[in-house]
Structure formats: C-alpha cells, structure tokens
Amino acid sequence: MSTPQRPVPRYDDLPLSPYGGRHAWDLPQCAGVGALGLIDDQTRLEALRSARTGELVSLNAALDVIDPPLFGRARLEHSVETKREGLVLDDRVDALYPQVSSQWDALNHIGAHPGVFFGGTTLEQQLSGEVNGIDVWARSGIAGRGVLVDMDTAMRQRHGDYGPGEPIAMSVEDVQAALTAQQTTLRFGDILLLYTGYLDWYLGLDGDARAAVSQAGPDVTAAGLAHTEDTARFLWDSGVTAVAADSLGVEVWPPDRSPEARPFGFLHSSLIGHLGMAIGELWELRDLRERCRARGAWDFLLVSAPMNLRGGIGSPANVVAML
C-alpha cells in the first residue's frame, strides 16, 4: 500500500506569522478551505483501505447531550406540529446552537488574532459570509482516513491520576506514547480523533453536577491538548488536517486568553486561525473506541457532511466511521 507523500512544507518551514507561530495562508491547496484541502482524491482513495468490514459507527451525540448547555447558550427547543388530521407531522427546531453537541468549528470561528482570520482575512469578510464559513466544507463534504487515539487509557497508564473533567494538559509525548501503544502511525491527510473520556464522564454526572459545569462559564475545565507550539508543530508535521475529540474544546480547558499567551494559550487560534485545521468537539467516541480495541486496529474511513449554511460558524458533525 502506498503512503500519501507530503506536498507541503513542514511546520518550521512555514512563514512566520506576525501574531506568533507560523501560518499556512499561502499554500495553494489550503486557499479558501484550510488544511482539509490537503486531502486530495488519491488520499481519499487510500483512506478506503482503512474500511475493512463495512461496519458503520455514528460519532454523533444527541443534539441536547449537554444540558444545561455550556457558555451561556440556550437550550434547544424541538416542537412537533400535527397537520391534515394527523396524516402529516412537521417538526421545528428553535435555538439550535450548532456547537452545543457533536460539531465542527468552521474557519471563521476563531481568528489568528483579533480581527484577523485564516488567510489573513478580516472580521468584516467573516461577517459578510464570503469566506471561511462552514459552507466551504459542506459543498464537497469531508472524507479521509480517521485515526482514533485512546488518550484516556494512555493518560491513566502514564500518569495514574487522570480525570477527563480536570484541566490536565496532554503533551506531544503523551499522544506519541498512545500511538505507539496502539501500534498506530499517522499519515499525511489524516483526521485525528482523541478519546479523552470527557463526554462519558459528563454523562455520568447527576443533574446538580451538570448544572455546576454549565455555571462555570468560560472557566469550565476539561483535559485536552497542551497549549504549546510543540502541539501545533506535531499535528502539522504528522500530516493531520483535522482534529476532533469527545471533549468540549480538544485543547485543555480553560485556555489562557491573555494577549501574552497568543496564539498558543488558546490553541484554536493557532490550529484554526493560522494552520486552517478543522476542529471537532463533543464527538461520541466510546462505541468507536470499543470496536477499534476489539478488532486491534484504530484507523477507519471517516465521512462527514456539514450543513450547507453560507457563512456558518459551525455545524453539527453529521459524521460516521466505516470500520
């Protein structure tokens, strides 16, 4: 089996950003679509080899899985209308925040710097809907080789005291150790999934504890990737085009929002704003972990169809894995 070759520079060879770190704004493959543009047709064909049984696993949690919602978002409202004497049913969804459950962050969600977004585009361009919206991925959909990394198990083995609802930073060495333990190798174009155990931990909380999580606001805590340039360098040099997790933010939470810590204190600014990576959050990964563990292989074909909303900031993930 051939391995997709690297058609772009390594991280340390990318242009320096005036806002810290490095950026991929000038790469023609990433223009307008970010790092997902690095997954070409041949890479997708190679990804088909990771589907061995044809078994499908949905990675989508219920739309109201986090209740009360985080960060002051409203509760989803679903109503059903009966029409034509009970012959026809219609439903209506109100107060749908695409990012309250399993979701993608679009390239316009977080900037590289206040007022500056992926590609060096402006805030005004994002608000006009002309660039970086979720629709740029929805037009063709997302497909590639997915790789799941069981960080929950790796962190417990390496550090003993681990809680997915605590602000525990996962280093590059932690991720590499988990990959080695699974005998898994990342390839150029991969979509990386991190099982941290956060969503399962949250679902095990009672009502009062869930309310406390919501009331924490921006200071809510969760384990995730460390706020370092090494994290960005590792993901880019490993060929990762998108990274998703079952946690609320992929990176360790809360971030360091101080200007001095930019862009790595809030890792979204580096990954989305500078490198154009797609980020997925709150994905349902428990079933996938169990099936990957049982078959002894952690890669699969991953396919997603984000909603086609012009200028949308995010979308329900609408994602499945074929094993």
Secondary structure of 144-189 in HEC code, one letter for each residue: EEEEEEEHHHHHHHHHCCCCCCCCCEECHHHHHHHHHHHCCCCCCC
CATH number given to 21-322:
3.50.30.50
Give CA–CA dist 287/233, Å, rounded.
30
pLDDT at 1: 46
> How confident is the model over 56-62, as a mean pLDDT?
98
What is the per-residue DSSP string for 45-113?
A: HHHGGG--S--EEE----TT-SSSPSTTPPPPEEEEEEEGGGTEEEEEEES--GGGSSEEE-TTSS-SB
Percent helix, strand, coil in the chain, to 5, is 35, 20, 45
Does residue 2 register a pLDDT over 60?
Answer: no
- 97 pLDDT exceeds 60? yes
Helix (H) or strand (E) holding 200: helix 198-203
137-191 per-position pLDDT tens digit: 999 999 999 999 999 999 999 999 999 999 999 999 999 999 999 999 999 999 9
Average pLDDT, the chain: 96
Q: What is the pLDDT of residue 211?
A: 96
Each residue's pLDDT tens digit, 200-259: 999 999 999 999 999 999 999 999 999 999 999 999 999 999 999 999 999 999 999 999
Confidence of residue 7 (pLDDT cuts 50, 70, 90): confident
pTM across the whole model: 0.96
* Residue 114 burial (CB count, 10 A): 10
Under 8 Å between Cβ of 35 and 271: no
Q: What are phi and psi of 245, to 5 degrees?
A: -150, 170
Q: Give the model's pLDDT for residue 99.
A: 86
- Region 38-49: mean pLDDT is 96
**pLDDT grade, residue 88 (50/70/90)?**
very high
Instruction: Return the percentage of the chain with pLDDT > 90, whole number.
Output: 96
Asked if the bond preceding 306 is cis, omega within 30° of 0, the reply is no
pLDDT tens per residue across span 99-114: 899 999 999 999 999 9
The type of residue at 303 is V
pLDDT of residue 80: 96
Q: Name the DSSP letter for residue 22.
A: B
Residue ranges per structural domain of the chain: 21-322
User: For residue 195, what are the β-bridge partners?
Assistant: 150
Q: Kindly give, in sequence order, each residue whose CB lies less than 8 Å from that of residue 253, ignoring residues fewer than 6 positions away.
A: 167, 220, 221, 222, 224, 247
**What percent of the chain stands above pLDDT 70?**
98
